[in-house]
Structure 1
Amino acid sequence: MPHPTRAAGLSGRRAQAQRNDSAILDAARTVFLHDPKAPVAAVASRAGVGISALYRRYGGKDDLLRRVCHDGLRRYIAEAETALAEEDGWRAFTSFLRRIVDADVHSLTVHLAGSFAPTAEMRADAARAFELAALLTRRAHESGRLRADFSSADIVLVLEGCAAVRFPDPERTRLLRRRYLALQIAGLDTARAVESESASEKLPGPPATEEELDLRWRR
Protein backbone atom coordinates (compact mmCIF):
# COMPACT_ATOMS: atom_id res chain seq x y z
CA MET A 1 0.00 0.00 0.00
CA PRO A 2 1.49 3.39 -0.98
CA HIS A 3 2.42 5.85 1.69
CA PRO A 4 -0.52 8.32 2.22
CA THR A 5 1.72 11.36 1.86
CA ARG A 6 3.27 10.07 -1.34
CA ALA A 7 -0.13 9.13 -2.79
CA ALA A 8 -1.46 12.58 -1.93
CA GLY A 9 1.60 14.14 -3.56
CA LEU A 10 1.03 12.19 -6.76
CA SER A 11 -2.62 13.17 -6.78
CA GLY A 12 -1.62 16.79 -6.30
CA ARG A 13 0.83 16.63 -9.21
CA ARG A 14 -1.79 15.08 -11.45
CA ALA A 15 -4.26 17.79 -10.47
CA GLN A 16 -1.68 20.48 -11.22
CA ALA A 17 -0.89 18.87 -14.57
CA GLN A 18 -4.61 18.91 -15.38
CA ARG A 19 -4.87 22.57 -14.41
CA ASN A 20 -1.84 23.38 -16.56
CA ASP A 21 -3.32 21.55 -19.53
CA SER A 22 -6.64 23.39 -19.19
CA ALA A 23 -4.81 26.71 -18.91
CA ILE A 24 -2.73 25.92 -22.01
CA LEU A 25 -5.78 24.99 -24.09
CA ASP A 26 -7.75 28.04 -22.97
CA ALA A 27 -4.75 30.24 -23.73
CA ALA A 28 -4.18 28.57 -27.12
CA ARG A 29 -7.76 29.18 -28.16
CA THR A 30 -7.56 32.86 -27.19
CA VAL A 31 -4.11 33.47 -28.68
CA PHE A 32 -4.67 31.68 -31.99
CA LEU A 33 -8.11 33.19 -32.55
CA HIS A 34 -6.48 36.58 -32.21
CA ASP A 35 -3.42 35.68 -34.31
CA PRO A 36 -3.16 32.25 -35.99
CA LYS A 37 0.55 32.95 -36.66
CA ALA A 38 1.39 33.56 -33.00
CA PRO A 39 4.23 31.41 -31.56
CA VAL A 40 3.63 28.80 -28.87
CA ALA A 41 5.68 30.97 -26.51
CA ALA A 42 2.75 33.42 -26.52
CA VAL A 43 0.45 30.59 -25.45
CA ALA A 44 2.75 29.55 -22.61
CA SER A 45 3.02 33.14 -21.44
CA ARG A 46 -0.75 33.67 -21.41
CA ALA A 47 -1.30 30.32 -19.66
CA GLY A 48 1.25 31.23 -17.00
CA VAL A 49 3.34 28.09 -17.55
CA GLY A 50 6.89 27.53 -18.68
CA ILE A 51 7.54 26.67 -22.31
CA SER A 52 8.94 23.31 -21.19
CA ALA A 53 5.62 22.48 -19.51
CA LEU A 54 3.85 23.16 -22.79
CA TYR A 55 6.26 21.02 -24.82
CA ARG A 56 5.86 18.13 -22.37
CA ARG A 57 2.22 17.97 -23.46
CA TYR A 58 2.41 19.02 -27.11
CA GLY A 59 5.13 18.35 -29.64
CA GLY A 60 4.72 21.76 -31.27
CA LYS A 61 2.29 24.30 -32.59
CA ASP A 62 0.60 21.89 -35.00
CA ASP A 63 -0.17 19.47 -32.15
CA LEU A 64 -1.67 22.30 -30.13
CA LEU A 65 -3.77 23.57 -33.04
CA ARG A 66 -5.01 20.06 -33.73
CA ARG A 67 -6.03 19.57 -30.09
CA VAL A 68 -7.87 22.90 -29.88
CA CYS A 69 -9.75 22.29 -33.14
CA HIS A 70 -10.48 18.66 -32.35
CA ASP A 71 -11.97 19.68 -29.01
CA GLY A 72 -14.25 22.06 -30.91
CA LEU A 73 -15.24 19.28 -33.32
CA ARG A 74 -16.05 16.95 -30.43
CA ARG A 75 -18.20 19.66 -28.87
CA TYR A 76 -20.08 20.00 -32.18
CA ILE A 77 -20.74 16.24 -32.25
CA ALA A 78 -21.87 16.18 -28.62
CA GLU A 79 -24.28 19.07 -29.17
CA ALA A 80 -25.69 17.44 -32.31
CA GLU A 81 -26.28 14.16 -30.49
CA THR A 82 -27.98 16.02 -27.64
CA ALA A 83 -30.21 17.89 -30.08
CA LEU A 84 -31.25 14.69 -31.83
CA ALA A 85 -32.81 13.47 -28.57
CA GLU A 86 -35.44 16.20 -29.04
CA GLU A 87 -38.62 14.78 -30.60
CA ASP A 88 -39.55 17.87 -32.60
CA GLY A 89 -37.29 18.09 -35.66
CA TRP A 90 -37.50 21.87 -36.02
CA ARG A 91 -36.81 22.48 -32.33
CA ALA A 92 -33.87 20.06 -32.46
CA PHE A 93 -32.41 21.89 -35.44
CA THR A 94 -32.78 25.41 -34.04
CA SER A 95 -31.63 24.55 -30.51
CA PHE A 96 -28.54 22.91 -31.98
CA LEU A 97 -27.68 26.05 -33.95
CA ARG A 98 -28.12 28.25 -30.89
CA ARG A 99 -25.93 26.07 -28.67
CA ILE A 100 -23.15 25.89 -31.24
CA VAL A 101 -23.19 29.66 -31.71
CA ASP A 102 -23.00 30.15 -27.94
CA ALA A 103 -20.10 27.67 -27.76
CA ASP A 104 -18.23 29.68 -30.43
CA VAL A 105 -17.00 26.50 -32.10
CA HIS A 106 -16.82 27.95 -35.61
CA SER A 107 -14.46 30.78 -34.80
CA LEU A 108 -11.81 28.05 -34.90
CA THR A 109 -12.82 27.11 -38.44
CA VAL A 110 -12.86 30.73 -39.60
CA HIS A 111 -9.39 31.45 -38.24
CA LEU A 112 -7.51 28.15 -38.29
CA ALA A 113 -8.68 26.14 -41.33
CA GLY A 114 -5.68 25.11 -43.40
CA SER A 115 -3.13 26.07 -40.75
CA PHE A 116 -2.32 22.46 -39.79
CA ALA A 117 -2.72 18.92 -41.12
CA PRO A 118 -5.75 17.10 -39.59
CA THR A 119 -5.29 13.58 -38.27
CA ALA A 120 -7.21 10.52 -39.47
CA GLU A 121 -9.20 10.63 -36.22
CA MET A 122 -10.18 14.24 -36.88
CA ARG A 123 -11.31 13.35 -40.39
CA ALA A 124 -13.41 10.48 -39.01
CA ASP A 125 -15.00 12.84 -36.50
CA ALA A 126 -15.59 15.42 -39.23
CA ALA A 127 -17.42 12.76 -41.26
CA ARG A 128 -19.52 11.95 -38.19
CA ALA A 129 -20.30 15.66 -37.76
CA PHE A 130 -21.50 15.85 -41.39
CA GLU A 131 -23.73 12.80 -40.83
CA LEU A 132 -25.31 14.31 -37.72
CA ALA A 133 -25.85 17.66 -39.44
CA ALA A 134 -27.53 15.86 -42.34
CA LEU A 135 -29.80 14.00 -39.92
CA LEU A 136 -30.76 17.21 -38.09
CA THR A 137 -31.50 18.88 -41.42
CA ARG A 138 -33.57 15.95 -42.67
CA ARG A 139 -35.66 15.93 -39.51
CA ALA A 140 -36.17 19.70 -39.74
CA HIS A 141 -37.38 19.24 -43.33
CA GLU A 142 -39.73 16.47 -42.22
CA SER A 143 -41.20 18.81 -39.61
CA GLY A 144 -42.40 21.03 -42.48
CA ARG A 145 -40.73 24.12 -41.00
CA LEU A 146 -37.36 24.24 -42.82
CA ARG A 147 -37.38 25.65 -46.34
CA ALA A 148 -36.91 22.86 -48.87
CA ASP A 149 -33.76 24.20 -50.56
CA PHE A 150 -31.71 24.40 -47.35
CA SER A 151 -28.86 21.86 -47.31
CA SER A 152 -27.00 20.44 -44.32
CA ALA A 153 -23.84 21.91 -45.88
CA ASP A 154 -25.40 25.34 -45.39
CA ILE A 155 -25.18 24.84 -41.62
CA VAL A 156 -21.39 25.23 -41.70
CA LEU A 157 -21.42 28.63 -43.39
CA VAL A 158 -24.40 29.92 -41.40
CA LEU A 159 -22.45 29.15 -38.21
CA GLU A 160 -19.24 30.64 -39.59
CA GLY A 161 -21.16 33.81 -40.46
CA CYS A 162 -22.25 34.13 -36.84
CA ALA A 163 -18.70 33.41 -35.64
CA ALA A 164 -17.42 36.28 -37.80
CA VAL A 165 -19.34 38.71 -35.56
CA ARG A 166 -16.70 39.74 -33.04
CA PHE A 167 -16.43 42.81 -30.80
CA PRO A 168 -14.09 43.69 -27.91
CA ASP A 169 -16.90 43.14 -25.39
CA PRO A 170 -17.58 39.35 -25.16
CA GLU A 171 -21.14 39.84 -23.92
CA ARG A 172 -21.96 42.22 -26.78
CA THR A 173 -20.48 39.69 -29.19
CA ARG A 174 -22.64 36.91 -27.73
CA LEU A 175 -25.84 38.95 -27.97
CA LEU A 176 -25.18 40.11 -31.53
CA ARG A 177 -24.42 36.57 -32.67
CA ARG A 178 -27.72 35.43 -31.16
CA ARG A 179 -29.49 38.31 -32.90
CA TYR A 180 -28.18 37.47 -36.35
CA LEU A 181 -28.75 33.77 -35.88
CA ALA A 182 -32.36 34.56 -34.92
CA LEU A 183 -32.73 36.57 -38.13
CA GLN A 184 -31.37 33.67 -40.18
CA ILE A 185 -33.59 31.13 -38.45
CA ALA A 186 -36.61 33.34 -39.12
CA GLY A 187 -35.67 33.38 -42.81
CA LEU A 188 -35.46 29.58 -42.88
CA ASP A 189 -38.80 29.03 -41.16
CA THR A 190 -41.49 28.40 -43.76
CA ALA A 191 -44.19 28.83 -41.10
CA ARG A 192 -43.19 32.50 -40.79
CA ALA A 193 -42.68 33.08 -44.49
CA VAL A 194 -45.79 31.54 -46.04
CA GLU A 195 -47.19 34.88 -47.18
CA SER A 196 -43.88 36.46 -48.19
CA GLU A 197 -41.90 36.37 -51.40
CA SER A 198 -39.02 34.63 -49.62
CA ALA A 199 -41.14 31.53 -49.13
CA SER A 200 -41.18 30.76 -52.85
CA GLU A 201 -38.05 32.57 -54.01
CA LYS A 202 -35.14 30.25 -54.82
CA LEU A 203 -31.87 30.73 -53.00
CA PRO A 204 -29.07 32.02 -55.27
CA GLY A 205 -26.57 29.30 -56.21
CA PRO A 206 -26.18 25.78 -54.84
CA PRO A 207 -24.94 25.02 -51.31
CA ALA A 208 -21.26 24.39 -50.67
CA THR A 209 -20.26 20.80 -51.26
CA GLU A 210 -18.64 18.60 -48.64
CA GLU A 211 -15.49 18.56 -50.79
CA GLU A 212 -15.36 22.37 -50.91
CA LEU A 213 -15.73 22.60 -47.13
CA ASP A 214 -13.11 19.91 -46.54
CA LEU A 215 -10.64 21.52 -48.97
CA ARG A 216 -10.16 24.46 -46.61
CA TRP A 217 -8.55 22.17 -44.03
CA ARG A 218 -5.83 21.06 -46.45
CA ARG A 219 -2.53 22.84 -46.56
Structure 2
Amino acid sequence: MTTAPMSGRKAQAARNDELILAAARAVFTADPNAPIAAVAERAGVGISALYRRYPSKEALLQKLCGDGLKRYIEVAQRAVDDDEGDPWEVFAAYLRGIVDADSSSLTIRLAGTFQPTEELFADSARASRLAVEAHRRAVEAGVLRPDVTPADIALLFEQLASVKLGDERRTAELRHRYLALVIDSLRLPPARRALPGPAPDDEELGRRWIPEP
Protein backbone atom coordinates (compact mmCIF):
# COMPACT_ATOMS: atom_id res chain seq x y z
CA MET A 1 0.00 0.00 0.00
CA THR A 2 1.42 3.38 -1.01
CA THR A 3 0.64 6.68 0.61
CA ALA A 4 -0.86 9.28 -1.68
CA PRO A 5 1.33 12.38 -1.97
CA MET A 6 0.12 15.41 -0.06
CA SER A 7 -1.23 18.38 -1.93
CA GLY A 8 1.00 21.42 -2.24
CA ARG A 9 -0.85 23.22 0.55
CA LYS A 10 -0.72 20.22 2.90
CA ALA A 11 2.94 19.61 2.12
CA GLN A 12 3.76 23.24 2.91
CA ALA A 13 1.78 23.02 6.15
CA ALA A 14 3.74 19.89 7.12
CA ARG A 15 7.04 21.62 6.36
CA ASN A 16 5.96 24.64 8.38
CA ASP A 17 5.07 22.39 11.29
CA GLU A 18 8.51 20.77 11.22
CA LEU A 19 10.16 24.19 11.12
CA ILE A 20 8.00 25.47 13.98
CA LEU A 21 8.70 22.49 16.24
CA ALA A 22 12.45 22.54 15.56
CA ALA A 23 12.52 26.27 16.24
CA ALA A 24 10.41 25.94 19.38
CA ARG A 25 12.72 23.28 20.77
CA ALA A 26 15.77 25.47 20.16
CA VAL A 27 14.14 28.64 21.49
CA PHE A 28 12.50 27.23 24.61
CA THR A 29 15.36 24.97 25.69
CA ALA A 30 17.55 28.07 25.53
CA ASP A 31 14.99 30.30 27.30
CA PRO A 32 11.69 28.86 28.56
CA ASN A 33 10.40 32.41 29.06
CA ALA A 34 10.93 33.41 25.43
CA PRO A 35 7.82 34.73 23.63
CA ILE A 36 6.13 32.65 20.98
CA ALA A 37 7.03 35.34 18.44
CA ALA A 38 10.68 34.27 18.81
CA VAL A 39 9.70 30.83 17.56
CA ALA A 40 7.99 32.24 14.47
CA GLU A 41 11.03 34.40 13.73
CA ARG A 42 13.47 31.50 14.07
CA ALA A 43 11.27 29.21 11.98
CA GLY A 44 10.88 31.84 9.28
CA VAL A 45 7.09 31.65 9.30
CA GLY A 46 4.48 34.27 9.96
CA ILE A 47 3.02 34.49 13.45
CA SER A 48 -0.45 33.85 11.99
CA ALA A 49 0.78 30.57 10.46
CA LEU A 50 2.13 29.53 13.85
CA TYR A 51 -1.08 30.41 15.66
CA ARG A 52 -3.15 28.46 13.14
CA ARG A 53 -1.27 25.34 14.20
CA TYR A 54 -0.66 26.14 17.87
CA PRO A 55 -3.13 28.61 19.40
CA SER A 56 -0.92 29.34 22.42
CA LYS A 57 2.56 28.91 23.82
CA GLU A 58 1.09 26.36 26.22
CA ALA A 59 -0.16 24.23 23.31
CA LEU A 60 3.25 24.41 21.67
CA LEU A 61 5.04 23.34 24.86
CA GLN A 62 2.58 20.47 25.32
CA LYS A 63 3.30 19.28 21.78
CA LEU A 64 7.08 19.50 22.25
CA CYS A 65 7.04 17.50 25.45
CA GLY A 66 4.50 15.04 24.07
CA ASP A 67 6.76 14.31 21.11
CA GLY A 68 9.74 13.94 23.46
CA LEU A 69 7.86 11.41 25.59
CA LYS A 70 6.87 9.42 22.52
CA ARG A 71 10.50 9.22 21.43
CA TYR A 72 11.45 8.01 24.92
CA ILE A 73 8.69 5.41 24.88
CA GLU A 74 9.75 4.12 21.45
CA VAL A 75 13.36 3.60 22.60
CA ALA A 76 12.40 2.03 25.94
CA GLN A 77 9.81 -0.25 24.34
CA ARG A 78 12.45 -1.66 21.98
CA ALA A 79 14.63 -2.53 24.96
CA VAL A 80 11.79 -4.18 26.86
CA ASP A 81 10.67 -6.15 23.81
CA ASP A 82 14.15 -7.51 23.04
CA ASP A 83 14.27 -11.00 24.55
CA GLU A 84 16.98 -12.31 22.22
CA GLY A 85 19.84 -9.84 22.53
CA ASP A 86 22.68 -9.82 25.02
CA PRO A 87 21.18 -8.27 28.21
CA TRP A 88 23.95 -5.73 28.65
CA GLU A 89 24.00 -4.67 25.01
CA VAL A 90 20.23 -4.25 25.09
CA PHE A 91 20.46 -2.01 28.15
CA ALA A 92 23.41 -0.04 26.75
CA ALA A 93 21.52 0.49 23.47
CA TYR A 94 18.58 1.77 25.52
CA LEU A 95 20.86 4.30 27.27
CA ARG A 96 22.36 5.46 23.98
CA GLY A 97 18.92 5.72 22.37
CA ILE A 98 17.58 7.91 25.15
CA VAL A 99 20.60 10.20 24.94
CA ASP A 100 20.05 10.51 21.17
CA ALA A 101 16.33 11.18 21.65
CA ASP A 102 17.34 14.07 23.96
CA SER A 103 14.01 14.21 25.74
CA SER A 104 15.88 15.06 28.94
CA SER A 105 16.74 18.52 27.59
CA LEU A 106 13.02 19.26 27.57
CA THR A 107 12.65 17.97 31.13
CA ILE A 108 15.48 20.16 32.38
CA ARG A 109 14.22 23.36 30.81
CA LEU A 110 10.44 22.99 30.57
CA ALA A 111 9.30 21.00 33.61
CA GLY A 112 6.89 23.15 35.62
CA THR A 113 6.49 25.83 32.93
CA PHE A 114 3.12 24.66 31.58
CA GLN A 115 0.10 22.53 32.51
CA PRO A 116 0.44 18.92 31.30
CA THR A 117 -2.51 17.33 29.54
CA GLU A 118 -4.08 14.00 30.50
CA GLU A 119 -2.31 12.44 27.51
CA LEU A 120 1.03 13.74 28.77
CA PHE A 121 0.39 12.30 32.22
CA ALA A 122 -0.51 8.94 30.66
CA ASP A 123 2.56 8.89 28.42
CA SER A 124 4.76 9.91 31.32
CA ALA A 125 3.44 7.02 33.39
CA ARG A 126 4.03 4.62 30.51
CA ALA A 127 7.57 5.90 30.00
CA SER A 128 8.26 5.43 33.71
CA ARG A 129 6.95 1.85 33.67
CA LEU A 130 9.12 1.00 30.68
CA ALA A 131 12.20 2.55 32.29
CA VAL A 132 11.62 0.52 35.46
CA GLU A 133 11.17 -2.66 33.42
CA ALA A 134 14.34 -2.08 31.36
CA HIS A 135 16.22 -1.49 34.60
CA ARG A 136 14.73 -4.58 36.28
CA ARG A 137 15.72 -6.83 33.39
CA ALA A 138 19.31 -5.62 33.44
CA VAL A 139 19.62 -6.08 37.21
CA GLU A 140 18.06 -9.56 37.13
CA ALA A 141 20.39 -10.56 34.30
CA GLY A 142 23.32 -9.64 36.55
CA VAL A 143 24.75 -7.01 34.19
CA LEU A 144 23.72 -3.80 35.99
CA ARG A 145 24.80 -2.65 39.44
CA PRO A 146 21.86 -3.40 41.75
CA ASP A 147 22.49 -0.30 43.89
CA VAL A 148 21.63 1.97 40.94
CA THR A 149 17.93 2.84 40.74
CA PRO A 150 15.75 3.96 37.80
CA ALA A 151 15.72 7.43 39.40
CA ASP A 152 19.52 7.45 39.30
CA ILE A 153 19.41 6.66 35.59
CA ALA A 154 16.86 9.43 34.97
CA LEU A 155 19.10 12.01 36.61
CA LEU A 156 22.13 10.71 34.71
CA PHE A 157 20.20 11.37 31.48
CA GLU A 158 19.60 14.95 32.64
CA GLN A 159 23.27 15.43 33.47
CA LEU A 160 24.26 14.23 30.00
CA ALA A 161 21.62 16.49 28.41
CA SER A 162 23.27 19.48 30.10
CA VAL A 163 26.43 18.93 28.01
CA LYS A 164 26.30 21.50 25.21
CA LEU A 165 29.46 22.54 23.39
CA GLY A 166 29.92 23.64 19.80
CA ASP A 167 27.36 22.61 17.20
CA GLU A 168 24.82 19.78 17.37
CA ARG A 169 27.28 17.21 16.01
CA ARG A 170 29.97 18.08 18.58
CA THR A 171 27.43 18.17 21.40
CA ALA A 172 26.16 14.69 20.46
CA GLU A 173 29.74 13.40 20.23
CA LEU A 174 30.60 14.68 23.70
CA ARG A 175 27.39 13.35 25.24
CA HIS A 176 28.26 9.89 23.95
CA ARG A 177 31.81 10.25 25.24
CA TYR A 178 30.55 10.87 28.76
CA LEU A 179 27.81 8.28 28.39
CA ALA A 180 30.56 5.73 27.71
CA LEU A 181 32.12 6.68 31.05
CA VAL A 182 28.76 6.28 32.76
CA ILE A 183 28.12 2.94 31.08
CA ASP A 184 31.43 1.51 32.30
CA SER A 185 30.58 2.57 35.86
CA LEU A 186 27.18 0.84 35.70
CA ARG A 187 28.19 -2.48 34.21
CA LEU A 188 28.78 -5.77 35.99
CA PRO A 189 31.42 -7.07 35.75
CA PRO A 190 33.27 -3.75 35.37
CA ALA A 191 34.49 -2.96 31.87
CA ARG A 192 36.51 -0.27 30.18
CA ARG A 193 36.32 0.58 26.52
CA ALA A 194 37.86 3.37 24.46
CA LEU A 195 35.90 6.61 24.76
CA PRO A 196 34.26 7.89 21.55
CA GLY A 197 35.32 11.27 20.20
CA PRO A 198 38.10 13.56 21.42
CA ALA A 199 37.92 15.38 24.73
CA PRO A 200 37.12 19.12 24.57
CA ASP A 201 40.17 21.36 24.43
CA ASP A 202 40.73 24.69 26.14
CA GLU A 203 39.72 26.64 23.03
CA GLU A 204 36.36 24.87 22.84
CA LEU A 205 35.68 25.48 26.51
CA GLY A 206 36.74 29.12 26.25
CA ARG A 207 34.44 29.87 23.33
CA ARG A 208 31.46 29.53 25.66
CA TRP A 209 32.36 32.93 27.11
CA ILE A 210 32.43 34.75 23.78
CA PRO A 211 29.08 36.38 22.86
CA GLU A 212 27.57 35.25 19.58
CA PRO A 213 27.56 37.93 16.87
Q: Name the TM-score, length of structure 2 as normaliser.
A: 0.83
**1:111 corresponding residue in structure 2:** 109
Moved over 4 A (4+): none
Q: CA deviation at 1:94?
A: 1.0
The number of aligned residues is 185
Correspondences of 1:193-212 after superposition (within 5 Å): none
**2:162 corresponding residue in structure 1:** 164
The 1-side partners of 2:152 and 2:167 are apart by: 28
1:152 and 2:183 are equivalent in the alignment: no
Q: Letter of the 1:174 partner, please give it.
A: A
The 2-side partners of 1:70 and 1:23 are apart by: 17
Q: CA deviation at 1:153?
A: 1.8
Alignment match of 1:187 (pick from 185, 188, 193) = 185
The 2-side partners of 1:116 and 1:94 are apart by: 32
SS in 1 for 2:10: helix
**1:64 corresponding residue in structure 2:** 60
**Matched-pair contact (CA < 8 Å) for 1:90–1:139:** no
| The structure with more radius of gyration | 1
**Matched-pair contact (CA < 8 Å) for 1:70–1:122:** yes
The 2-side partners of 1:100 and 1:66 are apart by: 20
The 1-side partners of 2:68 and 2:133 are apart by: 20
Provide the identity percentage.
57
**1:216 corresponding residue in structure 2:** none
The 1-side partners of 2:130 and 2:96 are apart by: 16
1:36 and 2:59 are equivalent in the alignment: no
Q: CA deviation at 1:149?
A: 1.1
TM-superposition CA deviations, 1:180-201 (whole Å, max 9, x none): 11111111112117xxxxxxxx
**Matched-pair contact (CA < 8 Å) for 1:89–1:142:** no
Unaligned runs of 5+ in 2: 192-213
The 1-side partners of 2:22 and 2:184 are apart by: 34
Unaligned runs of 5+ in 1: 1-7, 194-219
TM-superposition CA deviations, 1:96-140 (whole Å, max 9, x none): 110111222211111111110110110000000011001100110
SS in 2 for 1:94: helix
Q: Letter of the 2:116 partner, please give it.
A: P
**1:138 corresponding residue in structure 2:** 136
**Matched-pair contact (CA < 8 Å) for 1:89–1:136:** no
The 2-side partners of 1:152 and 1:92 are apart by: 16
Q: Letter of the 1:115 partner, please give it.
A: T
The 1-side partners of 2:101 and 2:134 are apart by: 18
Q: Letter of the 2:121 partner, please give it.
A: R
1:54 and 2:50 are equivalent in the alignment: yes
Q: Name the TM-score, length of structure 1 as normaliser.
A: 0.81
Q: Letter of the 1:30 partner, please give it.
A: A
The 2-side partners of 1:85 and 1:129 are apart by: 14
RMSD of aligned residue pairs (Cα, Å): 1.5
Q: CA deviation at 1:59?
A: 1.5
**2:16 corresponding residue in structure 1:** 20
